[in-house]
Chain A
Amino acid sequence: MSTTATWQSRRPPDLTTCLVWSGALAFALAMLIALGLWIAQASPAISEYGQTLVTGQQWFYRHQLFGAAGMIYGSIVVSLLAFLLATPLAFGTAIYLSEYLPAPARPWAKTAVEFLAAIPSVVYGLLGVILLRNWMADFLSPFDPLSGDMLATAAVLLAVMILPTVTTFAEDSLRTVPAAQRLAARALALNKSQTIRRIVLPQAWPGMVGAALLGIGRALGETIAVFLVIGRLDNQFPDHLFNPSLLIEPGQTLTSKRGGPETHIPMGAPLHWGAILSLGLILLIVSALFVITGILLRRLQKTRS
């Protein structure tokens, strides 16, 4: 294309070219306008409350108190716990699929993993409400939780939900390491395990970390399943950050808050509505940090190999 662009540009653009550009630009413009409207409607709350929207530990909308610290805590703790539970399993599975499983079986195995990814989050939520909630309450009964609605249940459910995402992305990264390098390593008398540890993993590592970060990004944004099992109790913030006792209590995340009735109530109250929209902005920023780093790491690894 680069060789032909010069003489083509001397002709006036044809209809298809115009359609492609206008379609793409219209979409970009619409999304920018949407983001602008979002920020504009959030701004009354942002200018009124400033950083207490993020750092405030109390959210009582009847008293015009809008502090999201409890929800931010809930989102981060639940997502990190899901990450800790899912990533070792996902990496192990990815290594097995990519390095040990015979090549003809690989597409079937990947299809099975993708089935887990395709199940709608409301169905995971249903499994959580009817089964996992009770299992978790029994499993953690030594610690005497009030019910199965707790941060830990949401974390386990999220771990299952991000497992296929992390597995397939990590497996992709492992497959981008050229097969010739594995053969060369074997020819140098490294055994399979040494080949994986010394040749494959060091090269695939950035992409695999990227896969895990995309998993965290997905966990942060998941709404419906978390909503159904987390108990939705506001203002749960620990007295010190590493106190695990809140894990077996109900809580609230940035997403579960907005799945609830409070998204409908404040349509006429600019401050409350602005605060709800600010939660969305916080979520967008936090999840974008993980997703952008994840995408960049995966690209870095792909261009290297």
Chain B
Amino acid sequence: MRNPFKHLMHTATALSAASVFTLIIAVAYLIISRGNHAITWEFLTAESSEAGASGGIRWQILGTLILIVTSAIVAIPFATALALLHSFFLKPRSLSRRTLGFTLQLFNAVPSIIFGILGLIIFTRLLDWGKSWLAGGILLGIMIIPTIAIMLAHRIAALPRAQIESATGLGLRRGQIIRSVIMPQSVAALLSGTLLGLARAAGETAPILFVATIFSGATMPAGIKDQPVLALPYHIFVLAQDSFQDSARANLWGSALVLVAIVTLLSALAIPLRHKLHNAADHA
């Protein structure tokens, strides 16, 4: 035994990895095993009743979908503009480009409760709105802008310079280069960034807690002001605090499983796109 570290490093790291993967399997098992009893077609499509103890989660699912679709509509234009500014308009390695990249990363780490309070400041105090799906969608949209922008900016920065130089040489203007050279090759990155952003938006409770969601009684919103929605994360948040009935428990775990399934599906859809991007970057 000349070197005691020789196997120690391997063993110690293998043990940590094994415990982390045990944890992953345990968490997945807990969520699935407790939730799958509740999942029926009726649970997914019926309205909830008796404060969540019976019935289903139809409007909660629909509310979550309304919120994330709105957030995508809000986020995509701004994220695209920021990504193009970062990777096409600002010069590589320039101070302005690095500052913008740094700011986007910093913005990505802003705690989500901050957006919830921001919603109170803007929509409740300044604009005097009641609870509104649009307020929630806008807040979630602002929250995911850096996620989308960073992914798209990476992709644009990785495009071969020669293509852009040839396009310029052919006399294309910046707008034409963006439309016919950059964006067609970057749509996959925009899409996968959006999917990852939506996966995060779908599961967040803190930004929508104060300004967008109520626990029961909302269906399809018919206007903007004073039109709240139900949402899965908020449903779970409320039930987790005060449900002690067994049937409510079952529905609670069922809602959690549905939420995890939505989030996992959105992230999983982004994976093949990301692999495709990696391959494209390797072959370029």
Binding site for B on A (CB under 8 A): 1-5, 8, 11, 13-17, 19-24, 26-27, 31, 34, 37-38, 41, 88-93, 95-97, 99-101, 107, 109, 111-116, 118-123, 125-127, 129-131, 160, 163, 167, 191-194, 196-197, 214, 217-218, 220-224, 228, 255, 258-259, 263-264, 267, 276-277, 280, 283-284, 287-288, 291-292, 295, 299
Contacts and interface: CB of A to CB of B under 8 A. Distances in A.
Q: How big is chain B's contact interface, by range? A: 35 or more
A283 B115 CA distance: 13
A120 B200 CA distance: 7
B273 interface: no
Contact of A34 (B7, B10, B118, B267): B118
Contacts of A122: 203, 205, 233, 236-237, 240, 256, 259
B113 A223 contact: yes
Interface in B112-127: 112-114, 116-118, 120-122, 124-126
A127 B27 contact: yes
Given A192-B6, A221-B109, 4 more contacts: A1-B91, A3-B165, A27-B81, A267-B124
B85 A20 contact: yes
Contacts of B260: 119-120, 123
B236 A126 contact: yes
Nearest to B108: A291
B20 interface: yes
18 contacts: A8-B173, A23-B81, A31-B107, A37-B126, A92-B15, A96-B14, A99-B13, A109-B21, A113-B20, A119-B260, A130-B249, A160-B27, A217-B109, A222-B111, A255-B113, A259-B206, A267-B124, A283-B114
Nearest to B9: A193
Interface of B: 3, 5-10, 12-17, 19-21, 23-24, 27-28, 30-31, 77-78, 80-82, 84-85, 88-89, 91-92, 102, 105-107, 109-114, 116-118, 120-122, 124-126, 142, 145, 161, 164-165, 168, 173-175, 178-179, 199-200, 202-206, 209-210, 233, 236-237, 240-241, 249, 252-253, 256, 259-260, 263-264, 267, 271, 275
